[in-house]
Chains A and B, each alone.
Chain A
Amino acid sequence: MKNAERMVLLILLAEWLVFFFSGVTFSSLSGNSFYDIKADVFYWLPFLSGIPQIVMADHWAGIILDVFIFICLLYQIRFPFKTGAARILFPLLFLFYITLTAYLTHRNYPTGIFIVIIPFMFAGAMNRKMAFEAIRYFLLWFYFSAGFLKISVGSISEPGHLSHFLTHQFAPYYIENNTGWRTSLNQFLIQHNSFAYSLFLGSVIIELAALVGFFTHRFDRWLMVLFLLFHVCNWILMDIAFIGQAAFLSILMFSYYAKSTKTG
């Protein structure tokens, strides 16, 4: 149980380091004055408080927050059953998510970066186990609803659906002449929309497979593998990485472990 919790946290730490070395954490974003937020109270509250603006205006505030998050993650890994560091990490990672995505159009899918911390905020084995299970259902719904919406809005009946999307995904690569096997594959799938459509159907089936998890824990590991496959394909075909979601997905491995050992 302890090692499983550490594994989730280690993946989260690795993700945080990728964010850091990518150059998009607080310290790298300082000086940025432009953001574009939507009608979402979870964005409004931090921006109304002025905290993201203050952090962006002060380079040292960004450095301190980056280092602080790193230290808290290390502490939580060392003492996974303690809650203090997790209760600090949650608002900090939430603030990081809000700050980063206030500048992006890609919102809502890397929410796992802060949601995965929620169970670690609960003391007591049973409380924590319940929290993990609640988060697991949230994860399952997150993926299942994506597949469900593709059916309900009718995109499943559009043979050119994925090909149309693929025209947008690698446009900057063509402008910069940074082409390679992924842009070749991109062109192939735009030209062969039937093949692209079959991949789209495959992705919908993977998303819908999350429904199984609502009835049994038995296939959690397989669901995790399927979702990882989905994200790897997303990166290859759509140029959307899954850093920020990997630790969140790993709780499926954790849930299987917790179930089989009957601890907590």
Chain B
Amino acid sequence: MNKWFIIRLYQHSKPAFVVVALYILLYALLFVKKMDMVMFPYNSMFSVDFTRDYNTDTYQLKLDDRPVTYTHLLWWKKDFMETSLRNYVLLLNREPYIEKYIQYAYANTPYSKFLLKQLKPSMHDHSWLKWYASFGNKETSAYTMFSIWKYHLTFNGNSIHIDSSLVLHEKLQP
């Protein structure tokens, strides 16, 4: 029982040993390359400070000036509403990472078009905002004006300073 796990696994099942050994080798390679994948997590959580300051941005959807709030919701839904809106806003002004990656890695290949079709998020219209509002338990109508606001927070000593700016202002077609 004191033998290393990998040795006991080899004695128990050689195919299982091969699978685990290959997994460890591949994981080591990906880890060195700093690649993060679901089955090979590069768990760099809170390792890198991207801002190095006391400022941050957050976003909020408003329906005719009524905010779609979410911090009162259970955590996963709260996190979903916070991060998906942020992602959506970021993609309004730049092409998705996946699009850039496919165009770079699969340029001039016959399946790049198929990859883009299946993997690139749809940003053709803003109908997702209607879904987002209903997901946040808010009703909308054909006359609802949708607006996304960006809030910039600065933490100064004992106080927090908040600036707001409009990102998107649109009435969606019924």
- A residues with a Cβ closer than 8 A to B are 18-19, 21-24, 28, 31-44, 47-48, 50, 53, 97-98, 100, 103-109, 111, 126-127, 130, 133-134, 137, 142-143, 145-146, 149-150, 153, 155, 158, 160-165, 167-168, 171-176, 178, 187, 190-191, 235, 238-241, 243-244
Contacts and interface: CB of A to CB of B under 8 A. Distances in A.
Given A21-B74, A37-B119, A175-B151, 8 more contacts: A36-B91, A39-B98, A108-B41, A127-B13, A146-B43, A149-B47, A164-B53, A240-B79
Nearest to A170: B71
Contacts of B79: 104, 106, 240-241
A111 B7 CA distance: 27
Interface in B50-109: 51-58, 60, 67, 69-80, 82-84, 86-88, 91, 96-98, 101, 105
| Closest 7 pairs (CB-CB, A-B) | A241-B75, A171-B58, A22-B74, A42-B38, A22-B76, A105-B83, A146-B43
B128 A39 contact: no
Contacts of A104: 79-80, 83-84
27 contacts: A22-B75, A31-B131, A34-B84, A34-B87, A34-B88, A34-B128, A36-B91, A36-B98, A38-B101, A39-B98, A40-B37, A48-B119, A98-B38, A104-B80, A108-B41, A130-B16, A134-B9, A142-B43, A150-B46, A155-B48, A172-B70, A174-B162, A175-B153, A176-B60, A178-B71, A187-B155, A241-B79
A153 B98 contact: no
B44 A42 contact: no
B20 interface: yes
Interface residues of B, number: 74
Contacts of A238: 46
Contacts of B151: 171, 175
Given A126-B12, A158-B49, A178-B72, A22 B101 contact: no
Given A126-B12, A127-B13, A175-B60, A137 B31 contact: no
A183 to B, nearest CB: 10
Nearest to A152: B47
Contact of B74 (A23, A133, A174, A175): A23
A39 B129 CA distance: 26
Interface string B12-25: 11001000100000
Interface of B: 5, 8-9, 12-13, 16, 20, 31, 36-39, 41-49, 51-58, 60, 67, 69-80, 82-84, 86-88, 91, 96-98, 101, 105, 114-115, 118-119, 121-123, 127-128, 131, 134-135, 151, 153, 155, 157-158, 160, 162
Chain B contact residues: over half helix, strand or loop, or mixed?
mixed
A19 B84 CA distance: 17
Given A40-B38, A103-B84, A130-B13, A32 B131 contact: yes
A47 B131 contact: no
Nearest to B19: A134
Given A36-B98, A142-B43, A161 B80 contact: no
A175 B131 contact: no
A189 B98 CA distance: 36
Contacts of B155: 167, 187, 190-191
Contact of B54 (A47, A130, A164): A164
B74 to A, nearest CB: 4
A171 B76 contact: no
